[in-house]
Structure 1
Amino acid sequence: MADLQDEPHDPAPAAGVEDAPAPPTPGGAPGSALDRAAELLAEHPVADGCNTLVWTLRQSPYHDIDTPDGGVDTDIPRLRSGGVGAQFWTLLTPQEPAATDHIVSETLEQIDAALALMHRYPDSLCLALTPDDMADARNRGRIASFLGPVSGRTLTGSLGALRAFHALGVRLLAPAGAPWAQEGLTAFGHEVVREANRLAILLDLTGCPPPAACQLAGASKAPVVISNTGAAALNPHPGNVTDEVLLALHAANGLAMVTFDAARTGDSLHAVADHVEHVRALAGPEGVGLGATFGAERGSARPAGLTDPSGYPRLIAELLERGWSEADLALLTWGNAQRVLRDAEFTARAAQHRRTS
């Protein structure tokens, strides 16, 4: 994979970060695994599929994420300490307004807040629009920041709305709850899928019922993603993905990204690793990623050892001790997210070529 051949910039470590990984133990197995995890993350950092910080900062704008902040679980030092090199900043809100005009305006406020976040911390966060931007940000020591998803309900029957969101930098769309993708794709829903493919906007199937998720995965010519989930076979939480959908993702070269939400994955690092392994077993080594859903105020239920982004090396060390190869871990952390973005871009170029030829 071309992106894995890029020379990455080693992110600057953060000192004094709460819940940071313990120092390596010389000669001890845990220290050795953490050493290897840190080395791997320096070369293949985490591309995290879901962070809700934009919404949290809108509610509590006094937080400064340039310094360790006990009030929220995400700040730049902990992102650095955890080896995060790319972040998808979700633009969804905890409770979507019932009125369509309100959800559109609320989404625009989210986009505005996300762009303000990038402008406020230009030495650490870099707006990313393409997979090349993702690699370039990593090489310059910045965290590539993708915007999305936005809710599929915001389209209100208009493909122009989708194009407008794309122009604002949005690169993910969540069909869950949209009238065009509830029981199955409507005629407009098929148009949305085609236009999203043409624009290189990824479809995020998080929260879609299994029949709709499978239909969307089959209809899209570009890979689809599930930005945050656990395995329903291990925990039948309504927010977790079924084996049927994981197999559909595998067939469509899609990507399921495992959350660190204790309600969905369990309250231990070991349990999260079990979910990662189950997703890999069904979706394949190229179909599993990480979408922690950090970004909340402190106190959210998180698995022990994974309470904020600085815990990522612990998970990688656990998987190393389970026998994962460094090549598969490089796919898990960075390569698979980069691959779906590149595939979406390739699909978009092919679609645009067909329209002009």
Structure 2
Amino acid sequence: MADLQDEPHSVGIGAEDLPASPVAAGALERAAALLSVHPVADGCNTLVWTLRQSPYHDIDKPGDSGVDTDLPRLRAGGVGAQFWSLLIPHETGTPTDQVVSDTLEQVVSDTLEQIDVALALIRRYPDSLCLALTADDMSDARNRGRIASFLGPVPGRTLTDSLGALHAFHALGVRIFAPAGASWARQDLTAFGHEVVQEANRLGIVLDLTGCPPTVARQVAAASKAPVIISNTAAAALNPHPGNVTDEVLLALREANGLAMVTFDARRTGDSLHAVADHVDHVRAVAGPHSVGLGAAFGTERGTPRPAGLTDPSGYPHLIAELLDRGWPESDLELLTWGNAQRVLRDAEFTSRAAQHRRTPS
């Protein structure tokens, strides 16, 4: 491929947290080799919120104080790009018509605090993390042995009748935006919601449909000129958890060249690596190999149920090995881990450049 890295990541395969049905050693070796060139672009990690609540954590040390994410385990898992979620806990829930009691001012204030913590995290570990704004930044970080760090999503409830907050977030480096919970994307995409979609396209901000009701998800996917993502989900056809995505939405993502990124939350996938692989298989079968990715939703302290073998980011090679054993071609795995996420970012940038010539800011 055109943008292979100069210095491959070192991917470690630890003995801990092995899946209940270990994959063949040969598959693990192939998985490590693949991830050294095509690392994981993980669509969701909530460490920013965790660090905001418990700022004493040092992620340069493995296994620090029970947090499931640290730099050694990200590297052991072959993670080369990370979307750092800036949502607060009640913004990450499943589709609901409930109105969250926080005021708009509180939501905006909380989001700005999240951005500040994320930027501080990246500055604290300059040898391992770097802020990424574009697909080229993603490749450049990988080539320099860093983890490309994208800011977002931020919550859609920060926008009511003005796009000013969206412009401000973009200026601060945010590149992913989640409509779920916003009044303009609760049951149907309103006229203002269409304005939000158009302006996100113009700015090159990727829309994340996690938590959106299926009707709204399909409407946003159809309205957007750029691909949309669902940064952490699983297949509702295999587990009818309200946070999982239906086949109808997966087909809409396929039509829109979007991306569904499979979570490692046992409540949504099942409690084994094999179950997670089933969800990845299903998303690939319905949405197509160009519309499936990985968004584990790590970044928490003890308590979130994880599938055996995938309790922290170091488990990624075991999942890739399992998919190799299932007969996945390496070309599809390269898309799953890295290629699809980078393509979505590139397409969003292309759409933004085209929109600059057609439309003035709202």
TM-score, normalisation: structure 1: 0.94
Aligned to 1:287: 291
Aligned to 1:79: 74
Q: How far is 1:6 from its partner?
A: 2.6
Look up the SS of the partner of 2:87 in the other structure. Answer: coil
Q: How far is 1:290 from its partner?
A: 0.1
Structure 2 counterpart of 1:279, one-letter code: V
CA contact 1:14–1:77 (8 Å) conserved in 2:
no
Percent pairwise identity: 76
CA contact 2:10–2:78 (8 Å) conserved in 1:
no
Q: How far is 1:18 from its partner?
A: 8.2
CA shift digits 1:261-311 (9 cap, x unpaired):
000000000000000000001110000000000000023200000000000
Aligned mates of 2:78, 2:278 — CA distance in 1: 21
Within a 5 Å distance, the mapping from 1:1-357 to structure 2 comes to 2=2, 5-12=3-10, 19=16, 30-68=24-62, 69-96=64-91, 98-355=102-359
Aligned mates of 1:13, 1:36 — CA distance in 2: 11
Equivalent pairs, count: 348
Structure 1 counterpart of 2:73, one-letter code: R
Gaps of 5+ in 1: 23-27
Q: How far is 1:182 from its partner?
A: 1.1
Look up the SS of the partner of 2:118 in the other structure. Answer: helix
Structure 1 counterpart of 2:184, one-letter code: W
Aligned to 1:25: none
Structure 2 counterpart of 1:82, one-letter code: G
Aligned mates of 1:165, 1:61 — CA distance in 2: 23
Structure 2 counterpart of 1:6, one-letter code: L
Q: How far is 1:239 from its partner?
A: 0.3
Look up the SS of the partner of 2:90 in the other structure. Answer: coil
Aligned mates of 2:124, 2:310 — CA distance in 1: 27
Look up the SS of the partner of 1:54 in the other structure. Answer: helix
CA shift digits 1:48-67 (9 cap, x unpaired):
00000000011111110001
CA contact 1:13–1:77 (8 Å) conserved in 2:
no
Look up the SS of the partner of 1:180 in the other structure. Answer: helix
Look up the SS of the partner of 1:85 in the other structure. Answer: strand
CA contact 1:230–1:241 (8 Å) conserved in 2:
yes
CA contact 1:52–1:295 (8 Å) conserved in 2:
yes
Aligned mates of 1:300, 1:233 — CA distance in 2: 23
- Between 1:86-95 and 1:182-191, the stretch displaced more is 182-191
Look up the SS of the partner of 1:11 in the other structure. Answer: coil
- Between 1:174-183 and 1:111-120, the stretch displaced more is 174-183
CA contact 1:44–1:334 (8 Å) conserved in 2:
yes
CA shift digits 1:174-220 (9 cap, x unpaired):
00110111111111111100000001100000010010000000000
Structure 1 counterpart of 2:16, one-letter code: D
CA contact 1:257–1:289 (8 Å) conserved in 2:
yes
Aligned to 2:95: none
Distance 1:241 1:13, change over 3 A: closer
Aligned mates of 1:204, 1:340 — CA distance in 2: 11
CA shift digits 1:124-183 (9 cap, x unpaired):
000000000000000000000000000000113211110100000001110011011111
CA contact 1:11–1:80 (8 Å) conserved in 2:
yes
CA contact 2:210–2:230 (8 Å) conserved in 1:
yes
Aligned mates of 2:314, 2:45 — CA distance in 1: 14
Q: How far is 1:7 from its partner?
A: 2.7
CA contact 1:260–1:293 (8 Å) conserved in 2:
yes
Q: How far is 1:71 from its partner?
A: 1.5
Q: How far is 1:8 from its partner?
A: 4.5
TM-score, normalisation: structure 2: 0.93
Look up the SS of the partner of 1:95 in the other structure. Answer: helix
Q: How far is 1:14 from its partner?
A: 6.1
